[in-house]
Structure 1
């Protein structure tokens, strides 16, 4: 998927070499990036140890929040697909000791299945 697709809210899988360089400051020794998806300015990064959600904030995107979630802390997750009138898809991730899920919205996107499949493969290990 191209830049326009990413700007429209569609997730696209991105090259992990670029992500490894960007994340070298926060990855622990021996931790490997295995998959990464871009959603507008945000990233879903699957490493061999955790899920990292990168949330770029503000107009310039210089302020960045790295939300690190060990796979063992994810209690459950759900995917809501787009319908005929509601074109948004949604991913919700619940973390132990929290009541409210982390929610991410996608625009009528088939790659939500790829993200869900990656999430399932890591959580269900």
Structure 2
């Protein structure tokens, strides 16, 4: 794989969640190489290095590397297929707990019950890793909740960023951006008229779906915060003409600032 492609792949895997498998491998002095592997094999721990198939997409790369890192940490020889299956299952469990944030999983699960493909995409994990995570952490029930067709929208604000470069193209007359945030799948911008959420679709993210929520459609809202915004994630809930929307706000961001922004524009 060309060096520029490797750098792009590393940058993409870092942006999906707090756990950074490439950084973890580097901290363990494990070399990562790119080489086409036999069918259905995405990665391999050779005993001295990890090989990743360059045909893997970003999510597969991230999950495969996390899995192979556990193999490297355990460094157990596969002496019999019975033990091999147990080791593979153990590697999956450890990788899943590193790749998926439990609180984020619960938040997305509530918004999209049993929608496995969407939840996996939102969390930056393969469906296999998500299934392993759900089994490991769901002790009261061995399966996810019953599907529902009326799922609410849920977004997570991760950190404040510069306004997207192409944002002016969609702003109306006398509309201007106030603040923008990084989300798991792209960005969210609060303007003086509405909330605009960009939702990258597919594996490449080239297709972008836009959500536009005018402040005039908000009937009621509530905000939850801890004694210190650094303690834990916070939550903002909106009741709109179309239904209930949850906005999760990562620790370090000021939920009161966003609450005040909504108040100033809804109560005009």
Under TM normalisation by the shorter chain, which class is it?
0.5 to 0.7
Q: Does 1 or 2 have the higher relative contact order (CA < 8 Å, sep 6+)?
A: 1
| Larger proportion of strand | 1
Provide the aligned C-alpha RMSD in A: 3.1
Match of 1:22 in 2: 166
1:12-51 to structure 2, matched below 5 A, reads: 12-16=159-163, 19=164, 21-51=165-195
Q: Tell me the distance in 2 between the aligned counterparts of 1:61 and 1:115.
A: 27
Residues 73-88 of structure 1 mapped to structure 2, 5 A cutoff? 73-81=217-225, 87-88=232-233
- Contact kept in structure 2, 1:10 and 1:111, CA below 8 Å: no
- What is aligned with 2:239? 94
How far is 1:58 from its partner? 3.0
1:43 & 1:34 partners in 2: Cα distance?
13
5 Å-filtered alignment, 1:6-17, equals 7-8=17-18, 11-16=158-163
Rg comparison, structure with higher value: 2
Q: What TM-score, normalized by structure 2, do the two folds share?
A: 0.36
Give the structure with the higher percent helix. 2
The SS at the match of 1:24 is helix
Q: Is the 8 A contact 1:10 1:109 kept in 2?
A: no
Deviation at 1:10, TM superposition (A): 5.7
For residue 104 of structure 1, the aligned residue among 234, 237, 247 is 247
Q: Which runs of 5+ in 2 are unaligned?
A: 1-13, 19-155
Aligned residues between the structures: 115
Instruction: Return 5+ residue gaps in structure 1 as ranges.
Output: none
